[in-house]
Amino acid sequence: MHADSSSTEAINAYLAALQHALHGADAALVHDAIVDAETHLRSALAAGKSAAQAIADYGSAEEVAHAYVCDLCEAPGRPAPAGAHVATDAAASSATSSSQVSVEKRRALRSIPVVGVWFDPHAWGSVLFLLFGFFIGTAAFVWTVAVGSAAIGLLPTLLGIPLLILLLGSTRMISLFLGQVIETFVGIRMPRRMQSVDTTGTAGFWRRIWVWVTDVRSWLTVAFFIGNFPVAVFCFCVTVVLLALGGALTVGSVVTLFSGARFMGASDGSVVIFDHTYMPDATGMIHVPVFLLIGLALLGLAILTASLWLSKGVALLYGQVVKSIQVVRPQPLARG
């Protein structure tokens, strides 16, 4: 069953009202709310309901917008406003209060200036993302370039067309996967689905393909996977170098400190630290002043702290770019 033009207009108007009601909310959340509403209302029309009835059952744009904006603050198991819970069970109450204390502790640790980043799970997640992102970025680049090149090369024989469609469909899926990786590691909310496409019957299949080809996000995603490769390599290298440098300085200095502030020098016997040459003693061991070792350990910790901030900032920027590609030009119901 296909919607007539008046139903389509009514649903488009509702989606516009929902988008307006969600003005100022996170772009990915707005995207998901629109896709959910469109998919649901289309299912209702297909089930034989009128557009007016389907919209009335779905709820006013304001009600639905409120549900999306407040879904997390009202979710069971999450910290709720004071007085929101009635204690019905002593054990549950005790567990809730201890978990809230733990949440408060973690929040307090994270709010410590500068070094609070050490207690931010998303900062560590960002480091992991920049490391793993290199492998995802490389795989996506290889896939895009290989399939894209083959598609362009085979276009004159028409065999390139299915390859091109394969490329666009697959990159959209990889982009969604990358979005979920970013959300897990970095904590940025990302869209769960691309815009839904009606695939009823054979015409629906071709319509899906047509949407892939005409959707600006498909081409932006392909461009992103190509341009992302050098960026992912650079981020990976910088992250590894900073972590290795900071880790080596910290661990090396602390270990030396606890082993009597001395260590075995290089083959020529000497070691230079801050333009000062330290010579080995008769046993071949080099004695380093304690204050210097403490200074080197602090320098290592400073580099690690800076690495966490830098990783968090870069991963946030990275996530915003991927999200802006996924939510760009949300397409309302385009049938009629």
Binding site for other proteins (CB under 8 A): 32-33, 36-37, 39-40, 42-44, 46-47, 57-59, 63-64, 67-68, 71-72, 74-77, 86, 88-89, 92, 192-193, 196-200
What is the distance of C-alpha 303 from the center of its chain? 24
Residue (110 or 335) nearer to other proteins, CB: 335
What is the DSSP code (8-state) at residue 286? E
Residue (86 or 282) nearer to other proteins, CB: 86
What is the spatial distance between Cα 83 and Cα 192, in angstroms, rounded to a whole number?
33
What is the spatial distance between Cα 254 and Cα 165, in angstroms, rounded to a whole number?
56
Three-state secondary structure call for residue 50: coil
Q: Minimum distance between the CB of residue 324 and other proteins, rounded to whole angstroms?
A: 21
CB burial string 141-155: b at 16+ within 10 A, e below: beebeebbebbeeee
Q: Minimum distance between the CB of residue 72 and other proteins, rounded to whole angstroms?
A: 7
Angle at 31 between CA 30 and CA 33, to 5 degrees: 65
Q: Minimum distance between the CB of residue 300 and other proteins, rounded to whole angstroms?
A: 37
Distances (CA, A) of 144 to 103, 136, 148, 187, 215: 43, 12, 5, 27, 17
Q: Minimum distance between the CB of residue 197 and other proteins, rounded to whole angstroms?
A: 6
Residue (150 or 197) nearer to other proteins, CB: 197
Q: Which two tokens stand for residue 98?
A: 């201890």
Q: Which two tokens stand for residue 61?
A: 């744009």
Residue (88 or 267) nearer to other proteins, CB: 88
Residue (116 or 187) nearer to other proteins, CB: 187
Q: Minimum distance between the CB of residue 169 and other proteins, rounded to whole angstroms?
A: 13
Q: Minimum distance between the CB of residue 37 and other proteins, rounded to whole angstroms?
A: 6
* Amino acid identity at 224: F
Residue (46 or 223) nearer to other proteins, CB: 46
Contact between 38 and 31 under an 8 Å Cβ cutoff? The reply is no
What is the spatial distance between Cα 235 and Cα 138, in angstroms, rounded to a whole number?
12
Residue (30 or 304) nearer to other proteins, CB: 30
Residue (43 or 259) nearer to other proteins, CB: 43
Q: Minimum distance between the CB of residue 92 and other proteins, rounded to whole angstroms?
A: 8
Q: Minimum distance between the CB of residue 128 and other proteins, rounded to whole angstroms?
A: 19
Residue by residue, what is the 3-state secondary structure of 222-274? HHHHHHHHHHHHHHHHHHHHHHHHHHHHHHHHHHHHHCCCEEECCCCCCEEEC
Instruction: Give 277's strand partners.
Output: 272
Q: Minimum distance between the CB of residue 167 and other proteins, rounded to whole angstroms?
A: 20
Residue 29, C-beta contacts closer than 8 angstroms, at least 6 positions apart: 22, 68, 69, 189
Contact between 215 and 171 under an 8 Å Cβ cutoff? The reply is no
Residue (73 or 155) nearer to other proteins, CB: 73
